[in-house]
């Protein structure tokens, strides 16, 4: 599908760029540093949506006619707690250890902004990990350095292939972009 908008993806994530390309869209990347904080009282399942809206708001004043900006944020939620990017290897270990032999949720919030429209949505996927030994967790952290990843893991890496036995929901949502929902939304905008 060709879009009648000039699409701008406001994300530094190479995974998101790759997914949007595979969806068949042409776009440019434009990024801003936005502080990824959120109110302490915000429920964990609303955090990704809130941050995607915050990221979009930073572009509001400079959007040109016919531009459409896409922002996204992904968080891992375990036991009602948001697991963001780990601050160090010790925290990465703690995150992964808690998810081993257990399930957790992944939320990606997406905001689409044009000069006169704003659409936000989020998607939830459930991820089931089998048991991971301490040695395997240490190996993963050492070899794959997951410090830039929410919850300290990438589903498309060694740990995802070898230990995730089941997901419920969208796979690409776990990678960082709920592509089916995004496609449907972009398509609906073309019809207006």
Smallest distance from the beta carbon of 5 to a copy of itself, in angstroms? 17
Whether the CB-CB separation of 29 and 9 falls below 8 Å is answered with yes
Q: Residue 24 class from Cβ within 10 Å (0-12 exposed, 13-18 middle, 19+ buried)?
A: exposed
Total interface residues for a copy of itself by CB under 8 A: 26
191 belongs to the binding site for a copy of itself (CB under 8 A): no
Contact 177, 16 (CB under 8 A): yes
Q: Is 179 in the site for a copy of itself (CB under 8 A)?
A: yes
Stretch that binds a copy of itself, among 65-73, 76-84, 91-99, 176-184 (CB under 8 A): 176-184
CA angle 144, 20, 96 (to 5 degrees): 30
148 is catalytic: no
Give 22 or 145: the residue with its C-beta nearer to a copy of itself.
22
The Cα–Cα gap between 51 and 109 comes to 8
Q: Which of residues 109-138 bind a copy of itself (CB under 8 A)?
A: 130
Q: For residues 1-20, which are near a copy of itself according to CB under 8 A?
A: 19
Indicate which residue of 33, 45, 73, 123 is catalytic: 73
Are 137 and 96 a contacting pair, CB within 8 Å?
yes
**Which 152-171 positions form the footprint of a copy of itself (CB under 8 A)?**
155-158, 161-171
Q: Does 184 bind a copy of itself (CB under 8 A)?
A: yes
* Whole-angstrom distance, CA of residue 162 vs CA of residue 47: 29
Which residues lie closer than 8 Å to 37 by C-beta, 6 or more apart?
Answer: none
Q: Which residues are catalytic?
A: 73
Task: Name the site residues for a copy of itself (rule: CB under 8 A).
Answer: 19, 22-24, 130, 155-158, 161-172, 179-181, 183-184
């Amino acid at each position: 599908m060709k879009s009648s908008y000039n699409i701008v993806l406001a994300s530094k994530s190479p995974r998101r760029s790759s997914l949007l390309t595979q969806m068949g869209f042409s776009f440019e990347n434009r990024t801003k540093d936005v502080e990824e904080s959120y109110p302490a009282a915000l429920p964990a399942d609303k955090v990704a949506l809130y941050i995607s809206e915050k990221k979009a708001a930073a572009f509001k004043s400079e959007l040109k006619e016919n531009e459409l900006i896409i922002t996204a944020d992904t968080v891992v939620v375990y036991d009602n707690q948001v697991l963001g990017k780990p601050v160090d290897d010790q925290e990465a270990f703690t995150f992964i250890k808690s998810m081993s032999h257990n399930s957790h949720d992944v939320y990606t919030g997406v905001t689409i902004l044009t000069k006169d429209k704003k659409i936000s949505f989020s998607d939830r996927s459930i991820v089931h990990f089998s048991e991971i030994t301490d040695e395997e967790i240490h190996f993963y952290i050492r070899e794959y350095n997951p410090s830039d990843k929410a919850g300290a893991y990438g589903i498309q890496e060694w740990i995802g292939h070898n230990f995730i036995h089941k997901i419920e929901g969208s796979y690409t949502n776990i990678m960082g972009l709920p592509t089916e929902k995004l496609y449907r939304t972009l398509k609906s905008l073309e019809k207006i």
